[in-house]
Amino acid sequence: MLAVIGVAILALAGCNKSADNGAEPGKSSTPTGVAADARAAWLKYSQCVRANGYPDYPDPQENEHGDWVIPASAPQVDVQACATLFLQAKQLTGQAQLPSAEEMAKRRQFAACVRQHGVPTFPDPNEEGSFELSEQDRANPKLNEAREACKQFAVPQKPK
């Protein structure tokens, strides 16, 4: 009878190890709650960056503190189409900072420049510094050309 109990305990211990896929004790391999939201937000941002000209942009990774971040090896990009997603991810991870007055002035210059280069309805940045583009603006064939022509006004967005 004791042998049967011993085998059952060993079987259960083996099941527990496989259930968490070898994660450290007390640490799940699947994020939950705020961590899952932060990972999902950074993942959406990475997907957006890949869809907007950087096909090799990496997915977020969990750092040694348990925070989800874009790897330091990722190229620094300025993809205006992904600015709102970037800010949302930063807010979820407690990294959000509002742009300075100087950065906001540059973003307004960028918007004015894009309008002058064929996207007349391109918006000014919102109070967080993001550009909330309409479907009409996103579909405008001159958008990428205008962004390129106005890149001197773009303010780089750097994930931590």
- Over its length of 160 residues, how does the chain's per-residue pLDDT go in tens digits? 433 333 333 333 333 333 333 344 444 444 556 778 888 989 999 999 999 988 999 998 888 878 888 888 888 787 888 888 888 888 777 766 677 888 889 999 999 999 999 999 999 988 778 788 888 888 899 999 998 999 888 876 544 3
Query: Do the bridges between strand 68-69 and strand 61-62 make them parallel or antiparallel, or are there none, so unpaired?
Result: antiparallel
Contacts of 144 (CB under 8 A, 6+ apart): none
> Residue 62's beta-bridge partner residues?
68
How much is the pTM? 0.45
**What is the distance of C-alpha 49 from the center of its chain?**
8
